[in-house]
Structure 1
């Protein structure tokens, strides 16, 4: 599988940044960023860029000479903000909601393999992002968006991608190979294939409906007794009381 040059969101930000730099060629900026950040260029890598980093990238071979690169400090700052994704209109990357541990008692954490927006439209080994949701019987909350491409430089890409979502109980994806599934399971995550994909919140809505009376596989993930066994446990507790 060939390595992508940049995630779709990163490429969009770079195009806007090039426009902000008074018509700098997108290809030239991509090449300069690739040399600085290494491929693939992802949103998380762009978010670590500083104004000085950008000045050095634009200065190229003259960076050590404190070159002014013909761009005002204000324009450099604005371009860095664009590369960070701040106030970028037209972006299809969803924005996480605020979340603290304990906000949603009885919830589970679910990852969605995604490429565009809030959709299940990705394969485990190639998706650009993992959308991370906290799911309870009454609420679906997007709490994080994590890059899948950042893990692709690792020697064991499948293990690295599994580590990205190892705080989740479940991951939904369109497809996953056997060796990759084994790495995901070893990380403590239950993979669920949904080849047709769909809107992430619709997929999660189907799972949400099962949380109050979970089937055995889901009850095991949630760490509770299956609904079919719970009534017997309650009866036993009543007898002992």
Structure 2
């Protein structure tokens, strides 16, 4: 295994819910974009930004909209985790079915450390 292959095995793509680009600081359902990072044992490296229409419509009944969710989840394709301050049960379950693990976290993006398994 060469050095590049070893690095790829220790890193993963993650989605970040952030309003300021510095901190994980918003609810999954309110996200208007995902910041996509390559993360591992060092500070995450920014790859791209994927803009979306928020899953939440502001309706207090919180009805799950599969079509709306699918559009949001598509923006996370290739990611193994998504970091957010909160997420509803149904969106969490649906992401997990797609192999994306929601991580509840609030704080600086540069503090995130993870190892691909």
| TM-score for both structures, normalised by structure 2 | 0.74
Pair 1:200-2:109 in alignment: yes
Distance in 2, Cα, partners of 1:114 & 1:105: 25
| Structure with greater Cα Rg | 1
1:146-225 mapped onto 2 (5 Å cutoff): 146-149=50-53, 156-194=67-105, 197-202=106-111, 204=112, 207-208=113-114, 211=115, 222-223=116-117
Match of 1:105 in 2: 8
| TM-score for both structures, normalised by structure 1 | 0.39
Count how many residue pairs are aligned between Structure 1 and Structure 2.
105
Distance in 1, Cα, partners of 2:12 & 2:81: 8
Pairing partner for 1:121 from 5, 8, 25: 25
Distance in 1, Cα, partners of 2:56 & 2:74: 12
Distance in 2, Cα, partners of 1:177 & 1:165: 17
Please report how far the alpha carbon of residue 128 of structure 1 lies from its aligned counterpart in structure 2 after TM superposition.
1.6
Q: Identify the structure with bigger relative contact order (alpha carbons < 8 Å, sequence gap 6+).
A: 2
Distance in 1, Cα, partners of 2:110 & 2:32: 18
Contact 2:43 2:110 in 1 (8 A): no
Structure 1 or 2: more helix by fraction: 1
**CA root-mean-square deviation:** 2.6
Please report how far the alpha carbon of residue 162 of structure 1 lies from its aligned counterpart in structure 2 after TM superposition.
1.6
Contact 1:162 1:184 in 2 (8 A): yes
1:13-32 mapped onto 2 (5 Å cutoff): none
Match of 1:38 in 2: none
Unpaired runs of 5+ in structure 2? 58-64
SS at match of 1:149: coil
Please report how far the alpha carbon of residue 152 of structure 1 lies from its aligned counterpart in structure 2 after TM superposition.
7.6
